[in-house]
Structure 1
Amino acid sequence: MPLREDDREVEWSEELDILPDRSADDSDSGWGEPRPAARRRARDQQLLDERPPHWE
């Protein structure tokens, strides 16, 4: 006699990643913005470029 759908055993693994915790659109890079490290380097370079002459 075949098992009914209700009687079927299902193995569940905690390692199985059905849905990611975060989608690609849920990140800065998903929206086309630079990654935080690149943004930090760009900001550092901007501050160095705008450094007043009397600071040298």
Structure 2
Amino acid sequence: MELTGAAWRTSTRSSNNGGACVEVADNLPGRVLVRDSKDRDGGTLRFDPEAWRAFVAAVKTR
């Protein structure tokens, strides 16, 4: 998977105390990448942007 140019970010609600967080890169065309902030080399998930938006919307309703 091509990760060149991915601009990774964590949630603004994440703390800086080493908690379990995910990082998201949503700046690449046609895909949203997600990885574990504590294991950045451990693998990356790839989502269609529409599927990612649906996931985020569902999480926000909980």
The normalised TM-score by structure 2 is: 0.26
Looking at both structures, which has the greater relative contact order when contacts are Cα pairs under 8 Å and sequence separation is at least 6? 2
Larger Rg: 1
The normalised TM-score by structure 1 is: 0.28
